[in-house]
Amino acid sequence: MTRITVHLAVYDTFADWETGHTTAHLTQNGFTVRTVGLTTDPVTTMGGVRVQPDLALADLDPADSALLILTGAHLWDAGNDLAPFAAAARTFLDAGVPVVAICGATAGLAREGLLDDRDHTSAVSFYLAATGYKGGEHYREADAVTDGDLITAGPTEPVALAREVFAKLGVYEGEKLDAWYRLFHDSDASAFAVLES
């Protein structure tokens, strides 16, 4: 496996629409997306899609990955079932490998202590405050926030999340990155010509 492999965490109730832009455009630009579950048993997304994980979390190594993506899911707020994914995020960040968290996954990272000293965002500040974390002063009212190797976004911002990922991994830069965002976020058809140039 090479460092152009991106790992998408999959678990029951994961919000499958939150990373569609990210994974589709990474794949179109030379990255391989592999799914990782707690085990290799099938999971069912919030949208009712069954997914067979490519590998189990115990076999995930940051050295084999360019990025770990954590989506929202009902399970983030229903107990500790997904805590191992937050622990994996810590391992990735400690190894200097970027981590993406959107929606409920931000609460998982907050509980793990990973947002205590990093700028971040989420659905709303009081959602994260309810976790008891200590990072409230680092909360930013923004569509998506990148702080070092951590990218966070709220549940309504899959396009802004993708933009941050593309910038971090060098998929699109400068004018092309701006055009991609204008096309998919603002429905600005004039941006298409820039992307095709």
pTM for the model: 0.95
The arithmetic mean of pLDDT across residues 40-48, rounded, is: 96
Which of 51, 53, 44 shows the shortest CA–CA distance to 12? 44
Q: Residue 1 has what pLDDT?
A: 38
Owner of token pair 């115990």: 58
**Mean pLDDT value across residues 29-35:** 97
Give the model's pLDDT for residue 15: 96
Task: Give yes or no: 139 in active site.
Answer: no
pLDDT for the residue 2: 46
- What pLDDT sits at residue 3? 62
Closest CA to 70 of 97, 43, 88: 88
Each residue's pLDDT tens digit, 48-89 = 999 999 999 999 999 999 999 999 999 999 999 999 999 999
8 A C-beta contact, residue 9 and residue 71: yes
Out of 103, 123, 171, 183, pick the active-site residue. Answer: 103
Q: What is the pLDDT of residues 123-148, one digit of tens each?
A: 999 999 999 999 999 999 999 999 99
Predicted confidence at residue 178, as pLDDT, reads: 95
Token pair in block for residue 184 = 């998919």
Rounded average pLDDT over 150-157: 97
